[in-house]
């Protein structure tokens, strides 16, 4: 790939023409009418997962030569399989209409949610060896590590991605060997194409989960009930002493949030193409550098746009999955999602210090980078979804409401995302133009009122609660009048 760069030929210009040479056949997309068969094809393992180490004592540590020489180790075969899965997801769960109501129930019963989560689990593995996984009963501390089983490439960026993937995809199968001979940079191009296709597939799966979890409590519960083939541990980059063990779908969504933790918005949008710099080697910026970078022009990349869309879809799936589902909210809270969302909304408001076992928020004022209303920002939608997720979590999890209610700046930011503060500021005596107060935001304000917030409520917070109380009284009076009219109508009729 470096040689290609010296020739003045970028990967983005070579890739489309080269992929067209693959000549994907029509049968790569299933036309089967049986939904269960389609879901099974969608959730089936990737070809590279067949690469297993020999478990015998005499040949331990060597891979099956037959598997390496076959299509399982062929990067193009894996690329075609990823594209096939993406086409299936887009065809059957590509929009809200396909995921709501009876159709959504049918998809759940056919195993669609399990298939989507299995795909996301396979593509999220940051470690490529099974001996780095932890067993199911890791919490007891009585189990040894799982034995080395196989190598599965992490199709999303991870540390030392190039060495890991190149060590797996060592050859092309018979069908694609000619491409390698005729195109000197086929390996680099194919690996970049594989990563790009994996990002597309991940975005489609997260979008489908977002739509499936909207309006269906059964689908939201199914996400929590999903269990991975094996437990894998994600270490917090900001604190090596913490880790997230993925044991259900809620924790898997948290793992995708954790993937971008400590990367600010401009870091994500300006990520270089995968052949240049892995995500873990991006330099982290201080809050002061972040504001300076935010006020300057920066050049987005194709990969950066896909990565930001992936984060946005993850936040959308979290927001919908946490809606009115107490078990999911509790699982999100226990997985450390609240801290990640607070950091994502505003790093300067993140609970950075711990004193006497109690979290203390730093005394920073919300800067222009933390506002959710700036329409010029690429990440505006993602911020609104992050704020909505926190409000949903606070609705069903009192611990979240109390934690958020102790931070004045975060309360004001969530009020801004709610959208009613402007109407209250303009005319405090008028109920028009003020949206219904979200139950989660009300829980946060009540927690702050009950003592979680030092110094008491601000005038705006007090007005919001007063307006909501007035609205409830008006609604009760109107309902009583309606019932009175109905009773009179029944009396006159009889």
For 234, phi then psi, to 5°, come to -105, 120
Confirm if 310 and 206 have CB atoms less than 8 A apart: yes
Minimum mean pLDDT among 348-357, 375-384, 442-451: which range? 348-357
Confirm if 407 and 452 have CB atoms less than 8 A apart: no
When pLDDT is averaged across residues 282-303 and rounded to a whole number, the result is 57
CB atoms within 10 A of CB 356: 5
- So what's the pLDDT on residue 141? 41
Tens digit of each residue's pLDDT (9 = 90 or more) over 106-160: 999 999 999 999 999 988 864 333 333 333 333 344 433 333 333 334 455 443 3
Residues whose CB falls within 8 Å of the CB of residue 447, separated by 6 or more in sequence, listed in order: 394, 398, 401, 402, 404, 405, 406, 453
Interatomic CA distance for residues 115 and 110, integer angstroms: 9
Tens digit of each residue's pLDDT (9 = 90 or more) over 234-272: 765 444 456 788 999 999 999 999 888 888 899 889 887
For 28, phi then psi, to 5°, come to -70, -20
Domains of the chain, residue spans: 1-225
Q: 415: which 2 tokens?
A: 């009020």
Q: 493: which 2 tokens?
A: 């009729």
Tens digit of each residue's pLDDT (9 = 90 or more) over 174-199: 777 777 777 767 777 777 788 888 89
Is the whole-model pTM more than 0.85?
no
Question: Does residue 282 carry a pLDDT above 70?
Answer: no
Q: Is 235 helix (H, G, I), strand (E, B) or coil?
A: strand
Tens digit of each residue's pLDDT (9 = 90 or more) over 63-96: 334 444 456 677 888 888 899 999 999 999 999 9
Residues whose CB falls within 8 Å of the CB of residue 387, separated by 6 or more in sequence, listed in order: 345, 372, 413, 414, 417
- So what's the pLDDT on residue 274? 62
Tens digit of each residue's pLDDT (9 = 90 or more) over 304-345: 899 999 999 999 999 999 999 999 999 999 999 999 999 999
Interatomic CA distance for residues 198 and 208, integer angstroms: 15
Confidence of residue 273 (pLDDT cuts 50, 70, 90): confident
Element (H, E) at 359: strand 358-360
Confidence of residue 98 (pLDDT cuts 50, 70, 90): very high
Confirm if 372 and 384 have CB atoms less than 8 A apart: yes
Confidence of residue 50 (pLDDT cuts 50, 70, 90): low
């Amino acid at each position: 790939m470096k040689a290609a760069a010296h020739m003045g030929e970028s990967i983005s210009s070579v890739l489309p023409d080269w992929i067209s040479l693959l000549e994907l056949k029509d049968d790569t997309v299933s036309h089967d009418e049986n939904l269960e068969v389609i879901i099974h094809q969608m959730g089936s393992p990737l070809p590279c997962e067949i690469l297993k180490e020999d478990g015998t004592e005499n040949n331990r540590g060597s891979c099956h030569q037959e598997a390496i020489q076959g299509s399982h180790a062929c990067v193009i075969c894996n690329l075609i399989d990823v594209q096939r899965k993406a086409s299936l997801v887009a065809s059957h769960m590509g929009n809200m209409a396909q995921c709501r109501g009876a159709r959504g129930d049918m998809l759940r019963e056919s195993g669609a949610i399990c298939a989507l989560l299995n795909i996301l689990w396979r593509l999220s593995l940051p470690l490529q060896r099974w001996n780095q996984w932890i067993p199911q009963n890791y919490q007891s501390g009585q189990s040894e590590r799982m034995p080395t089983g196989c190598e599965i490439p992490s199709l999303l960026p991870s540390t030392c991605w190039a060495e890991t993937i190149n060590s797996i995809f060592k050859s092309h199968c018979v069908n694609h060997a000619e491409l390698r001979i005729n195109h000197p940079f086929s390996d680099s191009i194919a690996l970049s194409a594989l990563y790009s296709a994996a990002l597309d597939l991940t975005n489609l799966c997260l979008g489908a989960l977002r739509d499936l979890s909207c309006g269906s409590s059964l689908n939201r519960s199914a996400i929590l009930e999903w269990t991975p083939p094996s437990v894998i541990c994600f270490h917090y980059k900001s604190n090596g002493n913490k880790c997230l063990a993925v044991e259900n779908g809620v924790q898997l969504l948290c793992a995708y949030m954790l993937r971008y933790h400590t990367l600010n918005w401009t870091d994500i949008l300006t990520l270089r193409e995968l052949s240049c710099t892995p995500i873990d080697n991006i330099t982290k910026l201080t809050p002061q550098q972040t504001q300076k970078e935010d006020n300057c022009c920066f050049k987005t990349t194709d990969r950066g746009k896909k990565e930001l869309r992936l984060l946005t879809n993850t936040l959308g799936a979290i927001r919908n999955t946490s809606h009115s589902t107490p078990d999911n909210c509790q699982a999100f809270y226990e997985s450390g999602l609240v801290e990640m969302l607070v950091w994502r909304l505003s790093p300067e408001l993140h609970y950075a210090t711990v004193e006497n076992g109690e979290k203390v928020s730093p005394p920073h004022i919300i800067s222009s980078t933390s506002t959710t209303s700036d329409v010029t920002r690429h990440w505006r939608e993602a911020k609104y979804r992050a704020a909505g997720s926190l409000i949903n979590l606070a609705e069903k999890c009192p611990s979240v409401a109390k934690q958020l209610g102790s931070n004045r700046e975060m309360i004001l930011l969530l009020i801004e995302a709610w959208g009613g503060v402007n109407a209250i500021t303009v005319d405090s005596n008028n109920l028009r133009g003020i949206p219904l107060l979200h139950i989660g935001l009300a829980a946060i304000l009540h927690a702050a009122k009950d003592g979680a917030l030092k110094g008491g409520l601000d005038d705006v917070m007090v007005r919001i609660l007063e307006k909501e109380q007035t609205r409830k009284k008006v609604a009760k009076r109107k309902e009583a009048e309606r019932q009175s009219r109905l009773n009179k109508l029944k009396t006159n009729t009889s």
